[in-house]
C-alpha cells in the first residue's frame, strides 16, 4: 500500500484575495470592535490563514468620534505619550483625546492587538480610520461589515 502525502498550502500572493470592508464605529464598544478589526487585518477569518504571511483585508472605519467606552473609562482611561526628554511625558484622558483627535483611540487600540514586527506594521498600514461618515475609498467598492 502506497503512502499518500498531503501538503498544507501556505498563503502567498497568488492565493490571497484582499477585500475592502467598511465598519461604522457608531455606538460600538472600542475594545470589542478593535479586536474584530485586528482579526480581519491579520487574515485569521480566512481558511488559508498563514501566521508568517500578511493575508488580511483592508479595513475602513468611519464615525470614529462616536465610538463608546464602557464604565468610567471615558474619564479614567489615560493615554500617555513620551517624547524621550526629561519632563516630556504627557497624560490625556480619553474624553479629551476623542474630542481633539478621535481617530487615534481606534488606531492605538488596533495597533496594540497586532504583532510587534514588520509584518504587524504591514498589517497596520491596511487600516484607515476617519472621523466622519465620508471616506475617499469609494473606488475600491468596500463592503459594509456589521458585528
User: What was the pLDDT predicted at 6?
Assistant: 73
9 pLDDT band, cuts 50/70/90, is confident
Within a domain: 79: no
CATH of the domain at 45: 3.90.1180.10
In a domain, 85, yes or no: no
Is residue 11 in a domain?
no
DSSP 58-110: EEEEE-GGG-B--TTHHHH-EEEEE-SSTT-EEEEEHHHHHHH-HHHHHHHHH
Domain assignment of residue 127, yes or no: yes
Calculate the alpha carbon distances from 18 to 15, 54, 145, 147 in Å.
Answer: 10, 10, 15, 20
In a domain, 3, yes or no: no
Domain count within the chain: 1
Residue % of the chain over a pLDDT of 70: 97
Looking at residue 65, its pLDDT comes to 95
Residue 23 is given by DSSP the state E
Domain holding 46, by residue range, is 20-69+100-144
The more confident residue out of 1 and 137 is 137
pLDDT of residue 1: 55
Amino acid at each position: 500500500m502506497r503512502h499518500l502525502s498531503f501538503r498544507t498550502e501556505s498563503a502567498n500572493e497568488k492565493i490571497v484575495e484582499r477585500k475592502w470592508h467598511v465598519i461604522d464605529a457608531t455606538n460600538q464598544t472600542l475594545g470589542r470592535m478593535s479586536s474584530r478589526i485586528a482579526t480581519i487585518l491579520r487574515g485569521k477569518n480566512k481558511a488559508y490563514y498563514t501566521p508568517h504571511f500578511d493575508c488580511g483585508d483592508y479595513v475602513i472605519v468611519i464615525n470614529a468620534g462616536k465610538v463608546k467606552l464602557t464604565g468610567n473609562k471615558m474619564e479614567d482611561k489615560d493615554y500617555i505619550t513620551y517624547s524621550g526628554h526629561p519632563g516630556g511625558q504627557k497624560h490625556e484622558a480619553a474624553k479629551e483625546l476623542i474630542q481633539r483627535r478621535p481617530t487615534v483611540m481606534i488606531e492605538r487600540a488596533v495597533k496594540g492587538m497586532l504583532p510587534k514586527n514588520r509584518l504587524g506594521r504591514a498589517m497596520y498600514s491596511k487600516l484607515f480610520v476617519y472621523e466622519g461618515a465620508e471616506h475617499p475609498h469609494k473606488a475600491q467598492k468596500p463592503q459594509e461589515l456589521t458585528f
